[in-house]
Amino acid sequence: MATKGSGRIKNLRQTLKFRKPILNPKKRRLTYAITIHDLRTIAKHRTPIGPFDYVDGAAEDEVSLSRARQAFLDIEFKPHVLRDVSNTSLNTKMCGADFSLPLGIAPVGFSRMMQTEGEIAGASVANQKGMPFALSTMGTTSIERVAEVAPGGSNWFQLYLWRDRERSLELINRAAKAGFTGLILTVDAQVAGARLRDVRNGLTVPPSLTGKTLIEAAPKVNWWWNFLTKDPLVFASLESWNGTVAELMNTMFDPTMTLDDLKWIRKVWDGNLLVKGVQRVDDAVAIAKCGVEGIWLSNHGGRQLDRAPIPLHLIEPTRKALGKKVEIHVDTGIMHGADVIASLAKGANFTWIGRAYMYGLMAGGRAGVSRAVEILETQMVRTMKLLGVSDLSELTPDLVDTALEKSLIETKRKR
């Protein structure tokens, strides 16, 4: 005859469901990461301070980055209710092509310095998820290798126009030969921004193994092992370099670049062309007249000019000035799927992530990048459902208020 105590234990077992332990440490830490900030925390624990700060930091006092992130935090959504959102789609078109998500992996230099899978992880995950992948001029994987690992993907090449135009043309031709979908011309890098974390860390490429570096990196066993046992860190599109990041950028960047150079690129590149780093409406209008497919609103993730304009706040006035003929893309500060949805509601066609993807890379390589995208995708779907929206085409500016708009309205009322 069962006792009352055994009956209670049986009832307790039926009520509680015990979570099975995840034995694989990488799978465990990525499974328990439910936000991009969680991935950032893991990345910080696993990556030496120099490479981590290269991703995490921004220029000077890092005001541009903090303001961009705060702009997303200050958003007030205005949701509809009593709408059928049982089926929600994130499918979209960008430059005439179909994508599963309104999100791309932005160009980030030196990726293999942060984690040895680097651009291979980004390109393969983007291909798998139905997203575009952008390879930086300062990438540590070659144009041809990216095309090899993601042969059916939408691969884009980000170009810093060099002082030596022939070398720039060589890169453009390599991207075309490799079947890259589009070219991204970055125009906000006339000179390297003052990234003070990098200066304080003495960051060089390849990373310098000083006594301080060795001591700080020692606990990061996986990074250390990969750094010593994998292929040497080199630039796939450049010659070898043994100096600081800022020195390299100042050697490469051309402060004489003008609209005439953009027109030249438009002539030599037949594919889709985006111009990245636009921060003024009048510049967007002038660039659009050069026949580009898209304007990419960006302050370079806050890594160039500090106290730069907030890309989110530029979307609506730029859309008003350009109409619907030219696409508007946006980045900087996107750490949540709701940030993506808000950008699209304001009038952007497409969004791109840099740090969010890199935190995933540092947290767990290819699996970490995949986890970052999964987190953002889940957040996007949930945000749309809670807004009463089932398709991206239903996103409109009236669904989103920003702190800036509310402040302007209040100021007009007082007048």
Domains within the chain, CATH numbers bracketed: 25-414 (3.20.20.70)
Mean pLDDT score across all residues of the chain? 90
Instruction: Report d(CA 368, CA 361) in Å as an integer.
Output: 5
CA atoms within 13 A of residue 153's CA, in its CB half-sphere: 30
Structural tokens at position 170: 């060589």
- 281 Ramachandran zone, left/alpha/beta (phi>0; psi -120 to 50): alpha
For 130-158, what is the mean pLDDT? 95
pLDDT at 369: 98
Structural tokens at position 187: 């125009």
pLDDT at 198: 87
Instruction: Report d(CA 84, CA 394) in Å as an integer.
Output: 13
Answer whether residue 242 shows pLDDT above 60: no
Answer whether residue 181 shows pLDDT above 70: yes
pLDDT at 270: 95
For 337-343, what is the mean pLDDT? 98
Q: Find the catalytic residue in 37, 80, 300, 329.
A: 300
pTM value? Answer: 0.91
DSSP letter string, 160-203: PPBSSHHHHHHHHHHHHHTT--EEEEE-S-SS----HHHHHHT-
Interval 41-90: pLDDT, tens: 999 999 999 899 999 999 999 999 999 999 999 999 999 999 999 999 99
Give catalytic status of residue 313 as yes or no. Answer: no
- Stretch among 126-135, 326-335, 406-415 having the lowest mean pLDDT: 406-415
